[in-house]
Structures are given as C-alpha cells and as structure tokens.
C-alpha cells in the first residue's frame, strides 16, 4: 500500500537522494514544494536546470563560471603572477571572503586519495602544469586542506612544479584566531611552535 | 564580489528557502546538483514540476491524490461508515502504517489556531459536514494531535457533527507503547489513569 500519490513519492525519493537529507526531511521538503505557488515551483525546477546547463569550469583556473573565463581570471585587477591552488570551488569562496588575496586561483577538483581511488590524473593538475609552464606564474600557494590527503596533494604538486623554477609555498599552520591553546591538538601546537615569528 | 556564478547562487538561494535548510546545507545541495548527470538533474527538476502539476486533493476526503478519487476513497474494501479525521496528509500515512484501521479518512489541512490566524473556515470542515449530512457515516474518529490546537479542533468538529446523530470518538490517550512511566508527563499519566481498562 502506498501512502502518498506516486508523483509525491517520487519527489520524496529525489529529495532523499540528496546528501544529508533523511527520509523525514525529504517528506517535509516535498510537502513544502506542494505548498509553493506554481511560479515558485517552476522557479525552483528552472534553477536546477539552469545551473546544471550554464555552470561550467573556467578554461584557465577550472573554477566554476557561468560560461567563458571566470570573473577572477577575466579581471585585470588580479595579480596573474600568483596562483593559489585549492581543492574545491568552495575553497575559492572561502579565500575570497577573507578579502586578503589578490592573485588568481587554480581549482584541482579533488585531492589525491588512494582510499577513494583518486589519483593525480583525476585532478586538474595537467592544466596547472601547463599554466606554470607558460612562464607568467612566479608563486604557487598550495591551499589544500591541512589533512593527510591535502598534505599529500600539496607535496605532490610542489614536486611537479619545482622543475619550472616557480616558488611553491604552503598556507601557514597554527592556532586559529580566537582559538584556545587549551583545546588545540598536539600536531597544531607543534606546527604553531615551528612556525613561530618574531614580534 | 560574488563568489559563485549567478546561476549557482540562484540555486543555492532556492535550496536555502526550503524549511530546515541553512546556508551551508544549501551550498552543499547546490554543488551536489552540479555533480549530477544531465539526466539526473532533469529527473529532479521534472519530479518537482510533476508533483506540483498532478497532485491534487481527493474531492471526497481531501487527502492528496494524483487526480480523481484517492486510492482509499476509491477502494471498495474500506468501510465507508467510519471516517477518521486528521489534520494533515502525513497523518493519513502514519495511520496507514499502523495497518489497523480499515475505514476512510477526512483531511482537514490544518487545525484551528487563533495564534496563526487559522479559523474553522480555513479548514476542510464544510466538506466533512456535507459528507456526514449525506448519512452514510456512522462514526467519526477525531485523530488530530493531542495538543491544545488539535484538542480544540476535535471539540469544535464534534460539536459541529453532533446534530447529525453521528457518533464522534477521539483516539485514546495513554502511555506510548515501549515508553517508561518514569518519563511520562503528568497530563499523560492522568489521562492514562482515566482511560484504564479491565484486563
């Protein structure tokens, strides 16, 4: 016995297939969609198709863009000699929010992860090497996450780029601003000590 | 400065407008949609439009249905003399899961709630009265939630139906199966005592 009409069940299933959405939430979301006006439901469905259809990767930095060069690669105000390498487009957004970085980016779309069968060839490393080989880039800042896989990816990429005579740096490790020494883990404290600076 | 391409931002906004979905979750969901295949994204958008377009209310019981009578109203196996009145289509699903009830339903689509400006006229009460007035119904089981608003709605509906000589009952209150006396609240315990039965 089905409890909801088939089209509603189908919508619940669609929502339930999204990451982090359980059965009960999926039901709530599907009922919410039914309560929308026709125009609102069409706007929602349209946004899905539109995003899927128009959002592509920037041919230079592989960041997401709505066709053509991304705004950062297209901007003449950004310093083309510095490239910040991140794993994910969301990391670009995080860096941009800090309003400190004025260079350009390169998005790898993943990290090297043998456990998940992701090797160097699955990442946007070839396009990064080509970019560096062209000779404009002076410094590559590796801004992958400070975990094992991000670390391995940073090391691998650095080795790959060294032959081109480019400077490869890594984001600083340390106590997060506003954090408590008391709650910092050993590895972070050790790195914070190693990276200490004169004041 | 926008961090994501406009169509992606728009999709994030759409997800963020859903109940219980915050900004970070909306971003995660939007990125998930981008990672879908074209066919999957179309199936998702299609499910929204299809559910919105085809799901209507059953002309008899007001439960959700994909056009025409709902399966329960259309079934000759269900006892048409008993009508269980619930506030929401999800409550029909809950009752059906119990596999105990063999009568029909009536969905009010809400409860009387002066705080939220919902009065009797905003509910599917008129259609319920008409149904009872037709004379087939012998018993109406009020299965609104056991909270203040559900209680008030049950009382109001009962008063409305009494003139037709129909029997109006209410779901039993008591300790939930598998519950602990220790954790039961006073009101529940009192109702459980009141409703005690000989064994």
Q: pLDDT per residue over A54-67, tens digit each? A: 999 999 999 999 98
User: How much of chain B exceeds pLDDT 70, in percent?
Assistant: 99
DSSP H or E segment with residue A86:
strand A79-86
State the maximum Cα–Cα separation within chain B, in Å, rounded to a whole number.
72
Tell me which chain A residues have a C-beta less than 8 angstroms from the C-beta of B25.
Answer: 20
> Which residues of chain B make contact with A14, given a CB cutoff of 8 A?
43-44, 47-48
Rounded to the nearest 5 degrees, what angle is found at the Cα of A185, between the Cα atoms of A183 and A189?
Answer: 100
According to DSSP H, which parts of A88-162 are helical?
89-97, 125-133, 148-161
Q: B5 contacts in A (CB within 8 Å)?
A: 54-55, 64-66, 70
Contact A52, B38 (CB under 8 A): yes
Query: Residue B8's closest chain A neighbor by CA?
Result: A51
pTM exceeds 0.90: no
Of A6, A20, A28, Cβ closest to residue B66: A6
Per-residue pLDDT at B1 exceeds 80: no
Q: What's the CA gap between A50 and A46, in Å, rounded?
A: 6
Banded model confidence at residue B129, pLDDT cuts 50, 70, 90:
very high
Q: Cβ separation of A29 and B19 shorter than 8 Å?
A: yes
Q: Which residue is listed with tokens 């999926």?
A: A26
Beta pairing partners, A107: A86
Parallel, antiparallel, or unpaired for β A56-57 and A64-65?
antiparallel
Q: How far apart are CA B8 and CA B34, in angstroms?
A: 9
Inter-chain CB proximity B4 and A64 less than 8 Å: yes
A51/B27 CB distance under 8 A: no
Which of B6, B7, B69 is the best residue to mutate to test the A interface, defined by the most A CB atoms within 10 Å of its own CB?
B7
Report the alpha-carbon distance of residue B103 to residue B144 in Å, rounded. Answer: 16
Q: So what's the pLDDT on residue A1? A: 43
Question: Among B32, B47, B96, whose Cβ lies nearest the Cβ of A10?
Answer: B47
Place of tokens 């269980």: B84
The residue written with tokens 């899927």 in the block is: A52
d(CA B154, CA B167): 13
For B6-53, the pLDDT digits (tens) are: 999 999 999 999 999 999 999 999 999 999 999 999 999 999 999 999
Q: What is the pLDDT along chain A (199 residues), one digit of tens a residue?
A: 467 899 999 999 999 999 999 999 999 999 999 999 999 999 999 999 999 999 999 999 999 999 889 999 999 999 999 999 999 999 998 888 888 899 999 999 999 999 999 999 999 999 999 999 999 899 999 999 988 999 999 999 999 999 999 999 998 888 888 888 888 888 888 888 888 877 7
CB atoms within 10 A of CB B63: 27
Predicted complex ipTM: 0.82
| Cβ distance of B28 and A20 shorter than 8 Å | yes
- Give the DSSP letter string of A144-184: --SSHHHHHHHHHHHHHHGGGT-EEEEPPP-PPTT--GGG-
């Amino acid at each position: 016995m089905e409890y909801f009409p088939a089209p509603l069940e189908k919508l619940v299933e669609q929502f339930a297939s999204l990451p982090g959405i359980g059965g009960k939430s999926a039901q709530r979301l599907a009922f919410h969609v039914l309560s929308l006006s026709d125009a609102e439901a069409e706007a929602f469905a349209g946004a899905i198709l539109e995003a899927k259809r128009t959002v592509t990767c920037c041919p230079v930095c592989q960041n997401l863009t709505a066709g053509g060069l991304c705004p950062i690669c297209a901007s003449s105000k950004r310093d083309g000699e510095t490239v910040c390498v991140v794993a994910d487009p969301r990391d670009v957004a995080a860096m941009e929010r800090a309003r400190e970085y004025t260079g350009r980016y390169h998005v790898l779309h993943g990290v090297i992860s043998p456990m998940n069968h992701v090797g160097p060839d699955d990442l946007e490393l070839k396009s990064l090497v080509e970019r560096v080989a062209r000779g404009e880039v002076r410094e590559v800042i590796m801004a992958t996450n400070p975990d094992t896989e991000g670390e391995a990816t940073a090391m691998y990429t650095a080795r790959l780029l060294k032959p081109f005579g480019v400077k490869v740096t890594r984001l600083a490790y340390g106590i997060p601003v506003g954090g408590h020494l008391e709650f910092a883990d050993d590895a972070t404290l050790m790195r914070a000590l190693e990276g200490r600076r004169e004041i």
